[in-house]
């Protein structure tokens, strides 16, 4: 949804912070720095989406819920029927460390010891607001030496 059609993963990481309403509402979920791109909600203006896909494809009938800025057009209610769903998020490729999985950044694991086992996890966005699919078993990366 957010980056799949761009063929890019949103590079984020976790630390040990716990949820604290005012100090750490996102708990340990953090994002690598970015210099541009990313995603933003399509805003509602007087209850109507600000943008639609320029070809008027609805998200639930062959279009997508993610909309690239180059494909946006002002919303035209006449091109939609009851039950049609328009794109809900503007998406463009991340630039900077957030768009690259393996860098020399302090935010990325550096595989300097190839005899070490590196633990990691994965979660997949499944078009739900907060209930995402996830891998519950620990995953381990080892290098053949």
Q: Tens of pLDDT along 6-36? A: 778 788 877 777 777 787 777 777 888 999 9
pLDDT tens track for 97-109: 888 877 788 888 8
**What's the pLDDT score for residue 73?**
95
Distance (Å, whole) CA 91 – CA 51: 13
* Residue 136 structure tokens: 């519950």
Dihedral, 135, 41, 70, 83 alpha carbons, nearest 10: 90
Instruction: Please determine, for residue 127, whether its predicted confidence score (pLDDT) is greater than 60.
Output: no
More confident of the two residues 22 and 141? 141
pLDDT tens digit sequence for 30-59: 888 999 998 889 999 999 999 999 999 888
Residue 126 domain boundaries: 4-141
Pull the structure tokens for residue 53.
Answer: 């896909």
Count of domains in the chain? 1
């Amino acid at each position: 949804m957010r980056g799949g059609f761009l063929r890019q993963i949103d590079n984020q990481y976790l630390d040990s912070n716990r949820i604290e309403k005012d100090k750490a509402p996102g708990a340990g979920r953090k994002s690598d720095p970015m210099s541009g791109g990313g995603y933003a909600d399509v805003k509602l203006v007087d209850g109507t989406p600000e943008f639609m896909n320029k070809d008027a494809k609805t998200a639930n009938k062959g279009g997508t819920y993610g909309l690239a800025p180059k494909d946006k057009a002002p919303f035209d209610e006449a091109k939609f029927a009851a039950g049609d769903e328009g794109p809900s998020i503007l998406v463009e490729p991340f630039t900077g460390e957030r768009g690259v999985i393996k860098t020399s950044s302090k935010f990325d694991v550096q595989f300097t010891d190839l005899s070490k086992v590196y633990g990691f996890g994965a979660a997949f966005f499944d078009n739900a607001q907060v209930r995402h699919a996830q891998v519950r078993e620990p995953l381990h990366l080892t290098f053949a030496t």
